[in-house]
Amino acid sequence: MNHSLRCSLLIVVLSCGSLPGAERWARREDGVVTVRPFPIDRSLRNADWPADWEQAFWQRANHVVRNTVRNGGYGNTFFENEKRSYGWAMLSILGGFEEPALKFLQSEDSEAQRWNKHTLGIDYFPCFTLKHQMRKYFFFGEALEPSYRQRMKDAARIFTEQDPLRRPHYAYDGTGVWGPDGKNSWVDVRSTDNLKLMRETSVYLLAEEAGNRATMELYKQRIRDYVVTMYHTGMGEWDSENYLGHSIAPLLNLYDFARDAEVKRLAKAALDRMSADAAVKYWRGGFNGPTCRDYNHPYPLGGSAAALTWLWFGDTPVQPVQFESDEIHVITSAYRPPAAVVHLARKNFSRPLEIIAGKPQWAAWEHADDPTPKYRETHYFGRNFQFGTLVRGSQEPDINGFKFLTYSRERGADTIIAGPVSDPLKLGSVQYQEGAIAPNSAVGQNGNMAIYLTQASDHPYLWLVPASATILEQNGVTFVRCEKTTLAIWPINSNAPRPDGELTRRVQYEETKDRDGQIQRRDRWANSQVLKATRRGDGPYGFVVEIDESQPDGFIAKAAQLKPETDEVPIRGAAAMTVVSGRRVRLQWGTSTDAIKIWRDGRLKDFTSPEENVAYRTLDGQLIDQPWQGDGTLTVTAGGSRFTATVTRDGQVTFRDDPKP
């Protein structure tokens, strides 16, 4: 089915609103909403989705609209608070509250006279605000008052007459923090991946709209450089459970609203790569590790990565109850990921299967020529679980390096995390809190097993496991029996991990007193419990773990008879073990990747070899592949579909989407 026919079928027999521009969205008498995105040329689109996929997408989209619409009370416009308030208002337009939502979207900004006089009172400073301003102006623009829309355009001309980044600002006095009074710039200077993308895509679109060609070309080059880096190494804020969705949203703006075909093509390439990254980690609504900037969402659809890409991927028995408001960008966008990427997210390929991946250092665009990855990842897909680790484990300042997703019929996927931390609320990410995690860890993974060793410290090893799991201990081995999987945990230089009631209560809920002194309980991670293992002995400490999906009684009986080889732990920090599956790892602990040695089934991993220096490489199968510093080609093959995209060093983009090759 071609794109135009698909969209016309979606809005047949629907009644549109009476406002100008309302033909872009429609709402049936029963409240069901559909949208007609900006048209995208066939040469710049992936293949159309099957009708049932598209129908399910709109069911999910309507769930978001139903659960976010409101008749006012959207929030405020101070600094970047539009990051949510503008999104709520735009979602409410779709849901039938056009009048109050449009009134709020056109209300005078709180800093109109203090920070935004030069842009006619229009706030184009914070990155999060800019992202939503683009959807407001371009998609909902015809529903705005003509005078307000013209003011936004006139402000765009002033804002982009030269590069607004670091352009001296009249409000600067050195007293502020992130605003122009502290940063002396016309636009937000912060440059994490998500914020950089919000800034650069928005400034480009405003410059293009205003006809300020010099600024437009400057930002086009910055966008080009970013996407080229993605396809030759990756993104520095990689696979962030907290921020990946915030990186996807501004790229949807660029894809939908840019007039320049080359820029649209670059935006599409970036979206294809980010959706593929998300698809590796996504499963049944969960989001597995490793991740940069995890920020602790160990439950289905918790962070922006899973919650936003759920709109594309679905495949879960639960629906989100938390929303970012970025969903408005996905719902009103023409972009759809390639079929192969959707199949990858839904794990429609032969399993078990293992991939290795390499991730770049922070601000990857500043290190585009790095010859090797900074972070080395192993990821294993079983039939009923996913397991991912980093060679250096979890680490400061914000890196999660050890995580499982395991099947849950009720919840989709339960999260299991382990790490050498004292605070169970920081197991996924210590969030820049120095000393919250023990330093210098090493992890050797081989399929469904791994050894994790950490430099001696006072931190215990904590495990976050499903509250529904049964915890057993036999012969010093701890077993975690989940719905379709069983973990065996053999301690090394520590006690066996055991349930800790106090820490479990801390992760499950928090208690506060209201104004009347009554205790109020609020759920945190109600479906989790905590196991604790304290260090003992000399040298590094940690564990061996194996996850099994066969008959649990037989696995437990065999695993309880096995012991890790630990004689060399106090001498040289080396441990080894052959587990029930027959897989073996020998791990030599070290304080850097170069010092860490990993033997898998007797073979030493050579981190200098071409087979290890990859962005993605699939072992024992064809799933996802991208060379490190190669020709810039990403290949995804899953569910009988195949997708390839290439971004050359000079930014030329080609792609081929074969949903049924």
Each residue's pLDDT tens digit, 368-422: 999 999 999 999 999 999 999 999 999 999 999 999 999 999 999 999 999 999 9
Instruction: For the chain, give the longest Cα–Cα distance.
Output: 78
User: Is the domain of 218 the same as that of 99?
Assistant: yes
Q: Which of 570, 596, 612 is the last residue of a domain?
A: 612
Model confidence at 12: pLDDT above 60: no
- The pLDDT value recorded for residue 483 is 98
Instruction: Say if CB 329 and CB 64 are below 8 A apart.
Output: no
Burial of 86 (0-12, 13-18, 19+ CB in 10 A): buried
Q: How many CB atoms lie within 10 A of CB 579?
A: 25
In a domain, 58, yes or no: no
Instruction: Say if CB 282 and CB 342 are below 8 A apart.
Output: no
Per-residue tokens: 509:
């809920």
d(CA 79, CA 568): 56
d(CA 533, CA 173): 52
Instruction: Say if CB 375 and CB 235 are below 8 A apart.
Output: no
Model confidence at 8: pLDDT above 60: no
In a domain, 509, yes or no: no
CA distances from 138 to 119, 217, 253, 565 (A): 18, 20, 9, 63
**Which value, in Å, is the radius of gyration of the alpha carbons in the chain?**
25
Model confidence at 13: pLDDT above 50: no
CA angle at residue 149 from 143 to 150, to 5 degrees?
145
d(CA 91, CA 332): 10
User: Is the domain of 332 the same as that of 444?
Assistant: no
User: Is the domain of 115 the same as that of 246?
Assistant: yes
Q: How many CB atoms lie within 10 A of CB 108?
A: 12
In a domain, 267, yes or no: yes
Per-residue tokens: 437:
């995690």
Q: How many CB atoms lie within 10 A of CB 513?
A: 9
d(CA 301, CA 241): 10
Give residue 396's domain range: 374-498+534-612
Q: How many domains does the chain have?
A: 2
In a domain, 652, yes or no: no
d(CA 238, CA 292): 5
Checking DSSP bridges between strand 385-390 and strand 375-381, what pairing results, if any? antiparallel
**Cα 406–chain centre separation:** 19
d(CA 185, CA 181): 8
Burial of 17 (0-12, 13-18, 19+ CB in 10 A): middle
Tell me if residue 596 falls in helix, strand or coil.
coil
In a domain, 106, yes or no: yes
In a domain, 445, yes or no: yes
User: Is the domain of 319 the same as that of 409?
Assistant: no
Model confidence at 4: pLDDT above 80: no
More confident residue, 603 or 21: 603
In a domain, 523, yes or no: no
Q: Which helix (H) or strand (E) holds 490?
A: strand 486-492
Instruction: Say if CB 417 and CB 531 are below 8 A apart.
Output: no
Q: What is the mean pLDDT of the chain?
A: 95
User: Is the domain of 483 the same as that of 335?
Assistant: no
Mean pLDDT throughout 218-237? 98
User: Is the domain of 430 the same as that of 298?
Assistant: no
- The pLDDT value recorded for residue 6 is 35
Per-residue tokens: 52:
């049932």
Per-residue tokens: 211:
């006809």
Burial of 368 (0-12, 13-18, 19+ CB in 10 A): middle
User: Is the domain of 295 the same as that of 400?
Assistant: no
- Tokens 């007459």 label which residue? 161
Q: What is the pTM of this model?
A: 0.96
Nearest Cα residue to 299 out of 73, 96, 113, 528: 528
User: Is the domain of 126 the same as that of 175?
Assistant: yes
- The pLDDT value recorded for residue 36 is 95
User: Is the domain of 155 the same as that of 233?
Assistant: yes
Instruction: Say if CB 122 and CB 155 are below 8 A apart.
Output: yes
User: Is the domain of 312 the same as that of 190?
Assistant: yes
User: Is the domain of 265 the same as that of 161?
Assistant: yes
Model confidence at 5: pLDDT above 70: no
Model confidence at 294: pLDDT above 90: yes
User: Is the domain of 113 the same as that of 262?
Assistant: yes
In a domain, 369, yes or no: no
| Tens-place pLDDT, residues 631-658 | 999 999 999 999 999 999 999 999 999 9
